[in-house]
Structure 1
Amino acid sequence: MAPLPISARMAKPRDKTLSPSTALLPPCPGPKLQPFEPQDALIKWGPRLGKTSTDDADSQGFVFRVEIASRAYAIKIFKFYHPASEKFYWETYLGKSYPLTKVIFYTDPFYAECRAYGRINQARNEGTVKEDIATRCHGYLLLTTEDMMWLEHEKGIDLRTDLIDEDLRRALGGDLRARAIVKDLETGDSGLNKGNIGRAWRNVSLQNSLNIYNRDVREENFMNGRIVDFGSSWTEPHAILDSADAKDADEAREQRLRDCSGFDEMTEKGRIKTTLKTPTSQHNLRPRKK
């Protein structure tokens, strides 16, 4: 792996006045993700990966290539998110009285990735899944104030700190450091093709078997036949899926079919010839989408 160019921001000691996080996240029932070790590691920032700035308004975060201890990683930095932006949806299932300090664990894209990767890492450690069904995740990282300022002022990154009000501050436990997740740096086979489409479907199917519903299955979210993004995912147990109305409507089944439908639409759009038969292609099912 070639080192980062000299023009990349050089690593600097991380702020020792901030306590390194040792907590598993999110702090609610269900799978959790461990912190990246060490939390105070030196980070050498490289180029931004993936989407361009024209896509930023609709994105959940930003992905950069970095080096930590001479090893290359991809780090996804999440924008701050306020559950009030989707209140009309989760209130339908959870009710108006459901506390924002809890609903954030099931709606924030950062916590969505923590929950999905927590379940995947657990399955790998237990031997339930013996292959990489998603890009490997090494834990979450809380950025320093210095890193946040550099990203905002030097790279033009909008972390949406404007969304932080007293309700969000309370929901985040008062810790307003930007959240990030450290993953393997995927290189090589981007997107989908005839050679990796079978592996991609197997990975989606295995994730569903672990009660992980990606809810955003599309070609841009695959590298080497593996999904690299879980920011929209639901992982059981999940407050919305466990609500009475959702159970009556079999919402979990709807989400599984949503992933299958997304996969079928993706192969059709990409004109990828395949003999794969997903549940939706077999029965011509098209689940409703949010």
Structure 2
Amino acid sequence: MSLSGPSESPPKPLPRAPGPKLAPFTRTAHAVIQFVNELGSPGQDGRVWEVKIRGKTYALKMISNISPTDYLRDDLAGHLVRDLSSPQFYAHYFDPFNCECRAYGRLKEENQEHLAVRSHGYLLLTHAQELEITRLITGTEDDRDDLWERTEKDRNLPVRAIVKDLVKGGHPFTAEQVPQMWADLKALHELGIMVRDINIFNHLNGKIIDFSRSWSTPHPGYTAIDRYDLREERSGDPHGLNRAVIEWGIGNRWAWDQVVIPDELVKCASGRSPNKYGPDPRVYNWLKWEKDPLVASEFMEKHVFTGSGNKEH
């Protein structure tokens, strides 16, 4: 099974690992891009700009090059109890760009793109585009390696980007949208997706806009994590949504007697629901999308983890 990355020609859906993948936005994964203006403040995993491509307006999330393996392993995958067998697997399953690709790929294959702000595919910036956006952000082209967190090893890798619908104006969400937000989150879990970063500013007009920390089945986080950490992970999404609703509502002086916060959400946020934290994303049948389910299943079982058992530090 090929596990090569975005340098392949012609470009393939990414990441090159079992499970969901996101196709390129164009046949070549390149496009003529007009950068209009930055949207919001730079996030922890990238920058989002309003752009025009082929006469249409989009939000383009540009993500720095694949994070160093030690950061992926020790920070983003720090709760795994088993080591992954290759640095490439840490990139496939924990790198923010690949996390987005996997979540959006799942929404596309299930025809459930309405559960989040829609993605249209990925792009790879050309050298000239990278210099242009660096100049627009910093005023000079000289800072591009620092801006995109490049090391000497990945200096020639392109900046990766996700093309999404542009949502203009509005608030993260309104009181009326809260029940639907909970329904959407449960539906994501039923599709094997945990967002793992639910907060006020991960929503626009009631829809999730960011999957850069998500886990999508199949994922090592679902199979190589101790019981306590898994409980914390599964409770994190409903707890985060419940907290975001309260914080945003207080800040905007909602009339709480008119706000409907689903009782199930409140119970799942604290683990007091009969089904604990809502639908279990681990039980999603991801193999139905694989051309050879047996090969894909065996690959996950025999090749993703080291044979040494417990994680070494």
- Report the TM-score range of the alignment, normalised by the length of the smaller protein: 0.7 to 0.9
Indicate which of 234, 239, 249 corresponds to 1:256.
Answer: 234
Query: Are residue 274 (structure 1) and residue 260 (structure 2) matched?
Result: yes
CA RMSD of aligned residues (A): 2.7
Alignment of 1:116-195 (within 5 A): 116-124=103-111, 129=112, 132-156=114-138, 160-166=147-153, 169=154, 176-195=157-176
State how far apart, in whole Å, the 2-side matches of 1:47 and 1:237 are: 36
For 1:148-206, what per-residue CA distance to the aligned partner results, in whole angstroms no more than 9, with x for missing partners? 1112223228665444244xx4xxxx960000000111124321211212222111111
> Quick check: 2:14–2:98 contact (8 Å CA) kept in 1?
yes
1:33 matched to 2:15? no
Residue 45 of structure 1: aligned partner: 35
Describe the SS at the equivalent of 2:236.
helix
Count of aligned pairs: 251
Percent of aligned pairs sharing the same letter? 29
State whether residues 74 and 182 of structure 1, in contact with CA within 8 Å, keep that contact through their aligned partners in structure 2.
yes
- Distance between the aligned counterparts of 1:70 and 1:139, measured in 2? 17
Gaps of 5+ in 2: 1-6, 277-313
Unaligned 5+ residue runs, structure 1? 1-17
The 5 A counterparts of 1:59-74 are 59-74=44-59
1:242 aligns with 2:223: yes
TM-superposed CA distance for 1:218, in Å, is 1.0
**Is the partner of 1:155 in helix, strand or coil?**
helix
Out of 10, 13, 30, the residue aligned to residue 24 of structure 1 is 13
Residue 206 in structure 1 maps to residue 187 in structure 2: yes
Structure 1, 198-207 or 91-100: larger mean CA deviation = 91-100
Alignment of 1:106-125 (within 5 A): 106-124=93-111
Are the equivalent residues in 2 in contact too, given 1:221–1:229 (CA < 8 A)?
Answer: yes
Aligned residue identity for 1:230: F
Report the equivalent of 2:197: 216
Q: Which amino acid aligns with 1:75?
A: L
SS in 2 for 1:278: helix
Q: Distance in 1 between matches of 2:99 and 2:183?
A: 21
1:132–1:151: structure 2 CA closer, same or farther, 3 Å change rule?
same
Q: Which residue of structure 2 lines up, in the alignment, with residue 103 of structure 1? A: 90
